[in-house]
């Protein structure tokens, strides 16, 4: 017992020192990487940066091995650092394969190795992972602070937007050498659009931003699609760590699942679905988007960018005219449409579908039944895609266009009008009444727990069934032989009312601050921003600074949800122990 106490006694101070060195070295590594990629320096300074990165990677390796050695049993330490061990094996393999034959351990040889891409890039990837891992571990403390889950969600998105704005303001993000080529307001607008997976742009993504800037936008889309706290949960569950009930409640609010105890399983489904879908989408898009004028790495980057943008329902594109050049490519149209739908239906629905499909494969006696939420989402999603496709097909002039291209155009615009901001035809080619149909689809949006915005298809479905119950004179709302709680129905009406109220206010402000722009285009812009869709009639770059701020606020509220903002500002719940006498108010 005394030996055990002695072991714990000397270990704790060293582990505290290790954590301090880890955090300090992570901050230093972040500064070095920002200077290295954000600014332009001479080759000698670049070589010095490479050498410092190698030293920091060596320090991280030593500290990680020390942490593993202090963990009892040792197998638990290996399980907690298995990702780092994979990195170490990769780094050692790169050094062995790239080391010059017959070369010794001279300083000049090490300096030359530090600037070789085959050595430097893996080390920088490892440094980025280490910085991200330390950040996610620090972010876990947000689960134990006294903030409400709604406030935690709001602050996490604010932090990500501000960080992205600073990153996009770096000179090399916009082809600059000593200073950025865009204003901070434009960087803030772009960052908000990427984090809120909207797709509205004030500058052309294909020309204004370098590959480094486009990489930042892609990372912002990836983090914004799920939210930082969801990634914190995924990272922790990957390392075998768990959360308290309050931590699970925060994740429950982020991914909108009906049951708190299913959060751990949903983390796995989110991880597999997201990365699996994006990899498959990248593979299909690579061959269709391949351009011989680009390098092999650039072609893979373009395919990955559009795959992540599609699954995240962001609508960003490295092409100035979005997908208009590929309107005759069924593979591109169907691949992006499939990614948009899969990212928009919600991970809880995907989890339910996996259980349903697995029970059918195993031929169990009592197959798994989809939940009422999943069935409602699937039915409403299919209904709106079909109705939107028919309406848009009728609103587009199809003279001289084959029926296949006509149908693909209608399908694609119907899918992206609800969630993503891609377009395969100019919006000017759509009749005004067709634009109104698209605004309705943008307002409805995707499903809860997905990467899209809007008031959600389940909310609209609940409102429809509520009206049906009212017309039949029933006191309760029934959906698919299930009675829906009154609180759920009230939440749906409140959410819809808050959304309509904000849209009315935002449209009034936009008409006031932008008197020279057409009314229909302003309304379309506001609805697109609030629905986090990203479709525009071309007026976004013409907005004044005040108009841009209104759109930024609309994108943010549309992503986090007006109800989340309302709950974050509300006081602590107060359940009264009394009830007043009933009263009646005339309605209608």
In three state form, how does the secondary structure of 430-456 look?
A: ECHHHHHHHHHHHHHCCCCCCCCCCCC
- At residue 481, the pLDDT reads 80
- Give me the chain's average pLDDT, please: 80
Q: Which residue has the higher pLDDT, 136 or 491?
A: 491
Q: Show the DSSP H helices in 71-100 as ranges.
A: 74-80, 82-98
pLDDT tens readout for residues 539-563: 888 899 999 999 999 999 888 877 7
- Are residues 392 and 434 in contact, defined by beta-carbon separation less than 8 angstroms? yes
pLDDT in tens, 159-205: 889 989 998 988 888 876 666 778 889 999 999 999 988 888 888 88
Q: What is the pLDDT of residue 505?
A: 94
Q: Which residue has the higher pLDDT, 583 or 424?
A: 424
Determine the Cα–Cα distance for residues 147 and 325; give it in Å rounded to an integer.
48
Residue bearing the bigger pLDDT, 261 or 316: 316
Predicted pLDDT at 575: 59
User: What pLDDT score was predicted for residue 507?
Assistant: 93
Q: What is the DSSP letter of 427?
A: G
Q: Is the pLDDT higher at 146 or at 153?
A: 153
> Does residue 497 surpass a pLDDT of 60?
yes
Overall average pLDDT of the 366-375 stretch: 82
pLDDT digits (tens, 9 = 90+) for 17-55: 777 788 888 888 888 888 888 888 887 788 788 788 888
Task: Tell whether the model's pLDDT for residue 72 goes beyond 80.
Answer: no
Contact 389, 396 (CB under 8 A): no
pLDDT score of 120 more than 90: no
The whole-angstrom separation of Cα 350 and Cα 257 is 11
Cα(263)–Cα(385) distance, integer angstroms:
29
């Amino acid at each position: 017992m005394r030996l055990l106490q002695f072991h714990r006694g000397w270990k704790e101070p060293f582990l505290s020192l290790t954590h301090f060195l880890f955090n300090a070295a992570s901050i230093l590594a972040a500064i070095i990487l920002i200077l290295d990629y954000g600014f332009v320096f001479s080759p000698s300074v670049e070589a010095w940066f490479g050498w410092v990165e190698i030293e920091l990677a060596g320090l991280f390796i030593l500290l990680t091995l020390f942490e593993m050695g202090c963990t009892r049993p040792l197998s638990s330490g290996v399980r907690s650092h298995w990702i780092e061990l994979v990195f170490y094996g990769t780094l050692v393999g790169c050094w062995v394969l790239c080391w010059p034959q017959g070369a010794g351990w001279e300083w000049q040889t090490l300096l030359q190795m530090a600037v070789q891409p085959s050595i430097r890039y893996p080390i920088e990837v490892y440094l980025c992972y280490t910085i991200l891992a330390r950040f996610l571990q620090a972010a876990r403390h947000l689960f134990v602070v006294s903030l409400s889950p709604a406030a935690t969600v709001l602050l996490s998105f604010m932090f990500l937007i501000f960080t992205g704005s600073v990153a996009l303001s770096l000179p090399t993000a916009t082809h600059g050498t000593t200073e950025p080529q865009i204003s901070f307001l434009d960087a803030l607008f772009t960052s908000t659009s990427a984090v809120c997976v909207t797709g509205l742009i004030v500058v052309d993504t294909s020309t204004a931003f370098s590959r480094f800037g486009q990489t930042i936008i892609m990372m912002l889309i990836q983090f914004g699609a799920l939210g930082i706290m969801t990634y914190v949960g995924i990272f922790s569950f990957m390392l075998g760590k768990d959360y308290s009930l309050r931590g699970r409640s925060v994740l429950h609010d982020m991914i909108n699942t009906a049951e708190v105890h299913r959060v751990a399983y949903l983390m796995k489904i989110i991880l597999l679905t997201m990365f699996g879908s994006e990899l498959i989408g990248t593979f299909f898009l690579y061959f269709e988007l391949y351009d011989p004028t680009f390098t092999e790495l650039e072609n893979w980057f373009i395919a990955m960018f559009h795959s992540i943008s599609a699954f995240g329902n962001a609508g960003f594109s490295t092409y100035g005219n979005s997908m208009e050049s590929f309107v005759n490519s069924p593979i591109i149209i169907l691949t992006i449409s499939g990614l948009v739908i899969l990212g928009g239906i919600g991970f809880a629905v995907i989890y339910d579908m996996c259980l349903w499909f697995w029970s059918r494969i195993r031929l169990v006696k009592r197959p798994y039944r989809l939940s009422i939420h999943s069935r409602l989402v699937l039915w409403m999603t299919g209904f709106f895609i079909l109705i939107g496709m028919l309406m848009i097909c009728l609103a587009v002039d199809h003279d001289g266009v084959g029926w296949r291209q006509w149908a693909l155009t209608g399908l694609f615009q119907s899918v992206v009008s609800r969630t993503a901001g891609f377009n395969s035809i100019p919006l000017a080619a759509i009749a005004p009444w067709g634009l109104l149909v698209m605004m309705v689809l943008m307002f409805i949006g995707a499903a809860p727990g997905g990467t899209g915005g809007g008031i959600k298809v389940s909310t609209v479905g609940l409102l429809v069934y509520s009206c049906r119950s009212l017309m039949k004179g029933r006191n309760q709302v029934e959906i698919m032989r299930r009675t829906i709680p009154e609180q759920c129905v009230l939440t749906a009406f409140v959410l819809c009312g808050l959304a309509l109220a904000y849209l009315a206010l935002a449209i009034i402000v936009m008409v006031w601050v932008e008197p020279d722009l057409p009314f229909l285009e302003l309304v379309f812009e506001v609805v697109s921003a609030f629905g986090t869709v990203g479709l525009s009639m071309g007026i976004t770059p013409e907005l004044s600074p005040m108009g841009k701020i209104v759109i930024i606020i609309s994108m943010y509220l549309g992503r986090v949800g007006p109800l989340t903002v309302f709950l974050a500002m509300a006081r602590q719940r107060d359940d009264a122990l009394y009830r007043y006498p009933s009263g009646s108010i005339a309605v209608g």
